[in-house]
Structure 1
Amino acid sequence: MKTNRKKSIILGMPRTFSIYEVLVNRLEQLGFEVIDISYDDDVFKYRNIWDRLVNLYHKTILNNKGYKNKLKFKALGVEVVKRLQAIEDKVDYCLLIRADIYPEEVIDQIKMKTNKMIAYQWDGVNRYPAVKKLVYKFDRFFVFDSKDAEQEDERFIATTNFYFGHLDNIEIKPKPSTFFFVGTFMKVRWQQISDTIQLIIQNNGAPNFYLYTGEKDMAKEYHIDGINFINNPLTYQENINLALQNEIFVDFLVDAHNGLSFRVFEAIGYGRKLITNNKEVMNYDFYHPHNIYVLNHEERTLSEFLNIPYSPINTEILNKYNFDNWIYRILEN
Structure 2
Amino acid sequence: MKEKKNILLITYDNWGYNQYIADALERKSFTIKHINFHSFRYKYPSFRHKALNFFTKNLGISNLKHIHYNEIILKEIQDLESIDTSIYIKADFLSPETIQAINKKSRRSVFIISDSINRYPKTKKILSLFDKVFSFEKKDCKRYNLDFKTNFIYKTVDNTLLSYKYKVFNISSYDKRFPILEKIAKALYQMRINSKIIVFKPKKNSGPHLEFISAPLSISEINAFMEESEIMLDVSRAGQQGLSFRVFESMGLKKKLITTNTDIVTYDFYNPENIFVVNDINNIQIPASFFTTPYTEIPKEIFDKYLIDNWVDELVE
TM-score normalised over the length of structure 1: 0.85
Q: How does 1:91-170 map to 2 (within 5 A)?
A: 91-150=83-142, 152-154=143-145, 156-164=146-154, 167-170=155-158
The match for 1:181 among 158, 170, 175 is: 170
Q: How does 1:198-277 map to 2 (within 5 A)?
A: 198-213=186-201, 215=202, 217-218=203-204, 220=205, 223-277=206-260
Deviation at 1:15, TM superposition (A): 2.3
Deviation at 1:149, TM superposition (A): 1.3
Deviation at 1:56, TM superposition (A): 4.5
Deviation at 1:100, TM superposition (A): 0.5
3-state DSSP of counterpart to 1:175: coil
Work out the CA distance in 1 between the residues paired with 2:165 and 2:213.
24
Which string of whole-angstrom CA distances, capped at 9 and with x for unpartnered residues, describes residues 68-92 of structure 1?
A: 3xx323234544222210112x211
1:314 corresponds in structure 2 to 299
- Cα 1:182–1:275, aligned 2, differ >3 Å: closer, same or farther? same
Work out the CA distance in 2 between the residues paired with 1:185 and 1:44.
25
Deviation at 1:32, TM superposition (A): 1.9
Structure 2: tracts of 5 or more residues without a match = none
Work out the CA distance in 1 between the residues paired with 2:314 and 2:65.
31
Work out the CA distance in 1 between the residues paired with 2:229 and 2:212.
18
* AA in 2 matched with 1:277: T
* AA in 2 matched with 1:102: L
- Cα 1:291–1:238, aligned 2, differ >3 Å: closer, same or farther? same
Work out the CA distance in 2 between the residues paired with 1:295 and 1:138.
37
1:23 corresponds in structure 2 to 21
Which sits farther off after the overlay, 168-177 or 133-142?
168-177
Contact 1:41–1:101 (CA under 8 A) maintained in structure 2: no
Work out the CA distance in 2 between the residues paired with 1:45 and 1:278.
39
- Cα 1:45–1:225, aligned 2, differ >3 Å: closer, same or farther? farther
Which string of whole-angstrom CA distances, capped at 9 and with x for unpartnered residues, describes residues 98-141 of structure 1?
A: 21011111111110111110000001111111111111111110
2:53 corresponds in structure 1 to 51
The match for 1:191 among 175, 179, 197 is: 179
- Cα 1:41–1:144, aligned 2, differ >3 Å: closer, same or farther? farther
Contact 2:70–2:98 (CA under 8 A) maintained in structure 1: no
Work out the CA distance in 2 between the residues paired with 1:195 and 1:42.
37
- Cα 1:264–1:331, aligned 2, differ >3 Å: closer, same or farther? same
Contact 1:17–1:236 (CA under 8 A) maintained in structure 2: yes
- Cα 1:21–1:326, aligned 2, differ >3 Å: closer, same or farther? closer
* AA in 2 matched with 1:123: D
Contact 1:7–1:33 (CA under 8 A) maintained in structure 2: yes
Which sits farther off after the overlay, 305-314 or 258-267?
305-314
Is 1:325 the equivalent of 2:316? no
* AA in 2 matched with 1:48: K
The count of aligned residue pairs is 310
Deviation at 1:170, TM superposition (A): 4.5
- Cα 1:177–1:38, aligned 2, differ >3 Å: closer, same or farther? closer
Which string of whole-angstrom CA distances, capped at 9 and with x for unpartnered residues, describes residues 37-77 of structure 1?
A: 221289768723333444455x3xxxx7xx43xx3232345
TM-score normalised over the length of structure 2: 0.89
